[in-house]
Amino acid sequence: MLDWLLKLEHMESFWLLPIKVIIFGMFTLGLTACVEVAGQSVSETSLGSRPNIILIFVDDLGYGDPGCYGGTLVPTPNMDSLAREGVQFTDGYVTAPLCAPSRSGLLSGAYQQRFGMQWNPDLGEGRYAVPDGHKLMPQALAEAGYTTGIVGKWNMPHKAADFFDEVSDEMHFVGNYFPEADGRYAGVDGVTPLPYAEWQHDWGPDLPSDEYLTDRLSRHAVDFVRRHRDKPFFLYLAYNAPHSPFQAKHEHNKQFKEINPEPLRLYAGMVAAIDEGMGQILKALRDEGLDERTLIAFVSDNGPDWADARYANWSEEWPNGILMGSAGPLAGNKAMFLEGGLRVPFILRWPGKIQAGQVYREPVMSFDLYPTFCAAAGTTVPPHTTCDGVDLLPYLDGSRLGSPHEILFWKADGMGAVRKGDWKLIVNPTEPLRQLFNLKEDIGETRDMAKEKPELLASLLAAYTKWTDTLPPPARQKVGIFLSAEEDIANRKKEVELKKRGQP
């Protein structure tokens, strides 16, 4: 299994008036002089070497999908190049196994449960909200002098324009990959999403002049990079692919004609389009001389989806149940608290700053990117912002040893998990109520050691309970919505049993 895992300055000058030179205390490695910019302290050394930052956040890509994580379904040369030229995390997690709460944890830098966000229904008008004094990731970087932009899936309270300088192709839960007759995309930039019953899983677009949505996002990302080449920028590129509806380009149907059944071929095409778009962005960085002055993060929002005939317009010729993508050696998938739902592809690349070819094995969380980006930008997490994340840079350059986190938590209603060291406790609302796994020895979570290690179980459960006792109830309860995470997962139990028996 270890072998499988092993496959596993931007020089900018700008005028700040007035400039007040102050002496800052001990920073990461020593004393540095600072200047005050819009109330934020930014080290003088960072003013000439601050990187551009690109965060690529994909939707429902499995841990085992990229080639660098052992994937074989579809070539991913550009994802793989990031790992080869940067650091690949074997134990990179997201804060939730589902779209909206995962994005909340990423962009807030905190456990999203602090704000009443536990599951998708907690997002909506009058439901959960991040406190006004708590700055999101793009706000912190804007205060440090960055031009900020989002391309793609937002899935957060309020409009993206409230937090970014530029917004393109804004989406919430879903977006159609093929344009309507008027050239607009359902679910994108304020256009009403297609009703679930009208989702189509197919190849397209039909007209040569029509643009596939993933290609559109990539084109707009490249445009943002080229337009802002002369000043530090933060680009949040949030592909909605390979999230359903499963729609891919005709050219990929031909390219991957050997992949069957057809739903997996569609999925392969969607992943290939992402990787191709990433290649265009990397080329733009090289063309503009920005390649070595850009920090790139690549992460998925949760594990791969399980698709079946519950999906609207699911062909009768397709298997009634298929994992769209791969969780590699991990158990579970999207919406589950097994590793396959929570552990994701997680890569950082910053030429000259992060040693190339690293494989980092300590557990990290998506909310660590917030303080890591701030540190790279020469600033700090803003005041009144509760940050549960940790700056990863000292751990990657060897100046700090040990694990960034002593313990990590997850929760949604009566379900959740806690990881401490190699041990992970899963909390379930039904039998088995508690499951205990040693992830070092059993990455596939096949051997429940709850009965063999009762004292360890009790200790982890006590830590989990102490944490959950500090959290507010789910925000949806405020507006009379009681759809629970347990209900959402209940219909997957049959699927899990079918998979265990090897049935489609």
pLDDT, one tens digit per residue, over 253-295 is: 999 999 999 999 999 999 999 999 999 999 999 999 999 999 9
Tokens representing 414 are 């009566």
Answer yes or no: is 402 within a domain.
Answer: no
pLDDT of residue 484: 67
In angstroms, the Cα distances linking 251 to 117, 246, 255, 256, 491 are 40, 15, 6, 9, 35
- Residues 325, 435: one domain? no
Nearest by Cα to 48 from 377, 394, 355? 377
- Residues 297, 419: one domain? no
Give the pLDDT mean for 68-83.
Answer: 98
Last residue within a domain, chosen from 397, 422, 451: 397
Domain count, the chain: 2
Q: What is the pTM of this model?
A: 0.88
pLDDT of residue 497: 56
Rounded to a whole number of angstroms, the CA Rg of the chain reads: 22
Centre a 10 Å sphere on the Cβ of residue 313 and count the other Cβ atoms it contains.
12
pLDDT at 21 over 90: no
CATH number for the domain harbouring residue 128: 3.40.720.10
- Residues 228, 129: one domain? yes
- Residues 420, 375: one domain? no
In angstroms, the Cα distances linking 354 to 44, 398, 463, 488 are 21, 10, 34, 40
Supply the DSSP string of 77-109, one letter for each residue.
HHHHHHHHTSEEETTEE-S-SSHHHHHHHHHHS
Q: What mean pLDDT value characterizes the chain?
A: 89
Last residue within a domain, chosen from 397, 416, 450: 397
Last residue within a domain, chosen from 397, 422, 450: 397
d(CA 353, CA 87): 11
Residues 6+ positions from 195 with CB-CB distance below 8 Å:
none
Residue 327's domain comprises: 2-397
Centre a 10 Å sphere on the Cβ of residue 76 and count the other Cβ atoms it contains.
24
Element (H, E) at 36: strand 31-37
- Residues 386, 424: one domain? no
Per the CB < 8 A criterion, the answer to whether 96 and 410 are in contact is yes
- Residues 224, 85: one domain? yes
Q: Are strands 358-360 and 87-89 parallel, antiparallel or unpaired?
A: parallel
Task: Look at the block and give the residue holding tokens 């939707």.
Answer: 59
